[in-house]
Amino acid sequence: MNLALVHSRARSGVRAPAVRVEVHLGGGLPSMSIVGLPEAAVREAKDRVRAAIQCARFEFPQRRITVNLAPADLPKDGGRYDLAIALGILAASGQIPLDALGECEFLGELGLTGELRAVDGVLPAALAAAAAGRRLIVPAGNGAEAALASRVEARTGRTLLEVCGQLAGRQTLPLAQAVPLQHAPGPDLRDVRGQAQARRALEIAAAGAHHLLLIGPPGCGKTLLASRLPGLLPEASEDEALETAAVASVAGRADGRGLDPARWRERPFRAPHHTASAVALIGGGADPRPGEVSLAHHGVLFLDELPEWERRALEVLREPLESGTVTVSRAARSAEFPARFQLVAAMNPCPCGWAGDSSGRCRCAEEAIRRYRARISGPLLDRIDLHLEVPRLPPAQLRPDQPEGESSACVRERVLAARERQHARAGQPNARLDQAQTETHCRLTARDQALLERAVEGLQLSARSLHRILRVARTIADLAGSESIATAHLTEAIGYRRGERGSAHAPQAA
């Protein structure tokens, strides 16, 4: 038999489309060609495969070898096809059984010695192999990641020779084993002194999955508060955790952003520096990779020093804040990544940071304050549900002997109760209600409706802001255990939008 077919998987966004590795041995001068839209790393596989086969003491066929990676219109990149190509050559030349290849899928890069090296995107491939009803063989370095897909039989090998032994029935490769989960305690809300209103806003944000903007002078605790939000959120479901882990899996191993199998159930907390580019935030590159908004999927994205970010970088956040997805389009291909994150942003009220502080130390001119706050566009601010001014605390409230506030565990109990009400009512957090659901589940009395309309008119808010006020009010009512939105819930929700125009346009007295 001069033809062999081996199953593998490509990487396209967070998907793992099937790839058929077809190997044909023909007559003519000895040569090897790879077709099927291979990129440079795939074309170089012929040299890695030749050396690996010879080091494993197999015979490399001295014939015309054609390797076709189908479908031909799907770009192929990386060294993930090395193992499948080598096995196809050995099967087509009769050195390993051909029948054993049909029920398995293979991923792995080959070293010149025949060693199997780990590759990116194994978790999406494992999930896809489970859906196709095939087993998966991966390098030992990817075993813990492949084991997260509990519905697939994944086995690991260290060398090409071991995989060939499995296919020939001479040995059995070990099953992929998951590593024990690590539950490192995160930052606790108990550490936050004072700031009762900020703690309240953080609880509302956690209960309804609302976006939050913290405005205050340096050292008032904005970063401290933001880092406590993940500890208030409900534990991610298995499906949510797998989605997040799949994004981390395809993000890449070289830059340290890849998946940690020991902590895959944790909600991510991403805090990129304000010098990050739009591509770093949204994702991209010639070979599209996920950005920070996707790495924060089902978790928290914290942007500190918001006015210091490039305007273009901030503007790319608009669409994922609404849709929960990111599509990165390039001339040759496009990729879609999930980006259902919760945004927490922080900023100073003016260039020096002290506008509005009781100390009166701010000397910024009104025009300078206006320009500083105008760096954040109105449409972006419109998409942030809660706007809160965080004041500087007096030194007396920072003493170690001051009573501690509620712990994250106590607040989390109320958050979980509110989330249960929301899922029982609409199947999702309040922040993700569409317009029809908002009108159904956030009804007001005639008196409260008039109050809301006056507030929207007085603050010059948009229709989007009006709906976000209603959703926040619904969350406040859920925290209170109320079936309907009361006037107190609505007025509190309106209070979280009062700083919207002021924070972006109108300077406050310094």
Q: Is residue 256 in a domain?
A: yes
Instruction: Using the predicted structure, report yes or no on whether residue 505 has a pLDDT greater than 50.
Output: no
Q: Is residue 178 in a domain?
A: no
265 and 361 fall within a common domain: yes
Q: Is residue 176 in a domain?
A: no
pLDDT band at 508 (very low <50, low <70, confident <90, very high): very low
206 and 260 fall within a common domain: yes
Question: What is the average per-residue pLDDT within 308-336?
Answer: 88
Q: Average pLDDT over the chain, rounded to whole?
A: 91
Q: 73: domain CATH number?
A: 3.30.230.10
260 and 363 fall within a common domain: yes
In whole angstroms, give the CA distance from residue 67 to residue 35: 6
Tell me the backbone φ, ψ of residue 476, rounded to 5 degrees.
-60, -40
Per-residue H/E/C for 203-243 = HHHHHHCCCEEEECCCCCCHHHHHHCCHHHCCCCCHHHHHH
Share of the chain above pLDDT 90, in %: 78
Find the range with the poorest average confidence among 124-133, 266-275, 292-301, 326-335.
326-335
pLDDT for 58: 96
Q: What angle do CA 68, 69, 74 make, to 5 degrees?
A: 135
pLDDT for 499: 63
Residues 104 and 135 sit within 8 Å (Cβ to Cβ) = yes
3-state SS, residue 31: strand
In whole angstroms, give the CA distance from residue 16 to residue 149: 14
140 and 206 fall within a common domain: no
How many other C-beta atoms can be found within 10 angstroms of the C-beta atom of residue 324?
A: 15
Q: Is residue 180 in a domain?
A: no
pLDDT band at 507 (very low <50, low <70, confident <90, very high): very low
Token output for 72? 């031909």
Token output for 224? 């401290």
**CA 404 to mean position of chain CA atoms:** 33
Q: What is the CA radius of gyration of the chain?
A: 28
In whole angstroms, give the CA distance from residue 133 to residue 259: 24
pLDDT for 1: 64
pLDDT for 266: 92
Question: What is the average per-residue pLDDT within 195-205?
Answer: 94
pLDDT in tens, 355-404: 888 888 898 999 999 999 999 999 999 999 999 999 988 877 777 777 77
Q: Is residue 426 in a domain?
A: yes
Answer positive or negative: Cα dihedral of 143, 146, 150, 156.
Answer: negative
Residues 373 and 364 sit within 8 Å (Cβ to Cβ) = no
Instruction: Using the predicted structure, report yes or no on whether residue 257 has a pLDDT greater than 60.
Output: no
pTM: 0.90
31 and 133 fall within a common domain: yes
How many other C-beta atoms can be found within 10 angstroms of the C-beta atom of residue 487?
A: 13
Q: Is residue 510 in a domain?
A: no
Instruction: Using the predicted structure, report yes or no on whether residue 201 has a pLDDT greater than 50.
Output: yes
Residues 192 and 174 sit within 8 Å (Cβ to Cβ) = no
The one-letter amino acid at 299? G
Q: Is residue 182 in a domain?
A: no
What contacts 350, CB < 8 A, 6 or more positions away? 362, 364, 368, 369, 372, 373, 507, 510
Residues 317 and 211 sit within 8 Å (Cβ to Cβ) = no
372-379 CB contacts, 8 Å cutoff, 24+ apart:
372/307, 373/307, 373/349, 373/503, 373/504, 373/505, 373/507, 374/504, 374/505, 375/307, 375/311, 376/306, 376/307, 376/314, 376/347, 376/503, 376/504, 377/311, 377/314, 377/315, 377/504, 378/504, 378/505, 379/318
157 and 218 fall within a common domain: no
pLDDT for 500: 60
Q: Is residue 173 in a domain?
A: no
Q: C-alpha distances in angstroms, 40 versus 35, 58, 78?
A: 12, 26, 8
Instruction: Using the predicted structure, report yes or no on whether residue 341 has a pLDDT greater than 50.
Output: yes
pLDDT for 315: 93
Least Cα distance to 431 among 485, 495, 474 occurs for 474
pLDDT band at 219 (very low <50, low <70, confident <90, very high): confident
Question: What is the average per-residue pLDDT within 98-119?
Answer: 95
Q: C-alpha distances in angstroms, 135 versus 66, 87, 90, 227, 476?
A: 26, 15, 20, 41, 49
pLDDT for 193: 83
Q: 338: domain CATH number?
A: 3.40.50.300
445 and 409 fall within a common domain: yes
pLDDT in tens, 39-80: 999 999 999 999 999 999 999 999 999 999 999 989 899 999
90 and 203 fall within a common domain: no
In whole angstroms, give the CA distance from residue 239 to residue 198: 31
317 and 453 fall within a common domain: yes
Residues 216 and 389 sit within 8 Å (Cβ to Cβ) = yes
Into how many domains does the chain fold? 2
pLDDT in tens, 147-164: 999 899 999 999 999 999
pLDDT for 13: 87
Give the domain extent around 441.
189-504
pLDDT for 510: 30
Least Cα distance to 89 among 12, 182, 4, 184 occurs for 4
Question: What is the average per-residue pLDDT within 92-114?
Answer: 94
Q: C-alpha distances in angstroms, 53 versus 66, 69, 85, 113?
A: 16, 20, 11, 8
The one-letter amino acid at 150? S
Query: Alpha helices, DSSP H only, in 69-210?
Result: 82-92, 122-132, 143-146, 160-168, 196-208
Residues 452 and 469 sit within 8 Å (Cβ to Cβ) = yes
pLDDT band at 255 (very low <50, low <70, confident <90, very high): very low
In whole angstroms, give the CA distance from residue 303 to residue 344: 6
pLDDT band at 332 (very low <50, low <70, confident <90, very high): low
Instruction: Using the predicted structure, report yes or no on whether residue 95 has a pLDDT greater than 50.
Output: yes
139 and 248 fall within a common domain: no
The one-letter amino acid at 247? V
240 and 305 fall within a common domain: yes
197 and 253 fall within a common domain: yes
Instruction: Using the predicted structure, report yes or no on whether residue 302 has a pLDDT greater than 50.
Output: yes
